[in-house]
Amino acid sequence: MSSSFEIGPVEVGAGRLFLIAGPCVIESEAHARSIAEAVQRIAADVGIPFIFKASYDKANRTSAKSFRGPGLKEGTRILGRIAKDTGLPVLTDVHEPAHCEVAAEAVDVLQIPAFLCRQTDLLVAAGKTGRAVNIKKGQFVAPWDMSHGLEKVRSTGNERVFLTERGSTFGYNNLVVDFRSLAVMRRLAPVVFDATHSVQQPSAANGVSGGQPEYIPLLARAAVAAGIDGLFVEVHDDPPNAKSDAANALDLKLLKPLLDTLLAIQKVAVHSAH
């Protein structure tokens, strides 16, 4: 696996589990800030390094009528303010090469959405900013083929890149997680497991995605036991009324007990590995 690196106070690939969490999309500045501060308190309480995430624009919604977010200018302003006020590292999605430099002014990590993981110009533009880059594995991509996306980012001289597993297409409107992919990709770069999008049922609910959030803890436990560097979860204080990915968000009140369990599993897994 590639050597570890730092994103602010968070070590990536150094053997300590870290957390990426937040709402799917910025619904309002007040709401994003409240989630960031709530998760920051939980993360500090359980002792897990934390990167806040939220999207300024959900450009790949199923329906044209779906809420997308505040947009690049206002969204990055909000994320930059949250980063400054909380001291947290912040992650957001980028969908176009032209967005990368603007987003990089406000956040610490640029995330390449799964559907765009092969977009050469986007990967290169993200790499050139010097910010850490998280490439989400496409639902249609074999884990070993993620080496090509890594090479595109690293061609810019940027070695601060990691991969995220979020399930693979399994017929129509469903995903399945092949846990072998975690080991395969971890030989290439640090690996994060996305426990919330992995329970998504794409486009299964009449123009929006469905989901099975009751399986988030199960998949997260399995991933930590298998060996990962970080956990990605989208959390919301009122999932049924979330403006994006409501069907597969983790209820905020369930986050602390889940993290307690996962850290205990990781402690055993690391000990057993040695």
**Sequence spans of domains, the chain:** 5-273
Q: Nearest Cα to 235, choosing from 253, 245, 250?
A: 250
Res 205: pLDDT: 64
Tally of helices (H runs) and strands (E runs) in the chain = 8, 15
- Token pair for 163: 């991969």
> What pLDDT does 79 receive?
98
CATH number belonging to the domain at 5-273, selected among 3.40.50.2300, 1.10.760.10, 2.40.70.10, 3.20.20.70: 3.20.20.70
Q: 217 is written with which tokens?
A: 């803890």
Query: What are the φ/ψ torsions at residue 73 (nearest 5 degrees)?
Result: -65, -55
Tokens of 19: 């957390």
Which of 90, 110, 108 has the alpha carbon at shortest distance from 98?
A: 110
**pLDDT average per 10 residues of sequence, the chain (274 residues):** 85 96 96 98 98 91 76 97 98 97 98 97 98 97 98 98 96 92 98 95 70 93 97 96 87 98 93 65
Q: Which two tokens stand for residue 68?
A: 């997308």
Structure tokens at 81: 């303010």
User: CA triplet 126, 13, 178: central angle to 5 degrees?
Assistant: 85
Q: Is the pTM of this model over 0.85?
A: yes
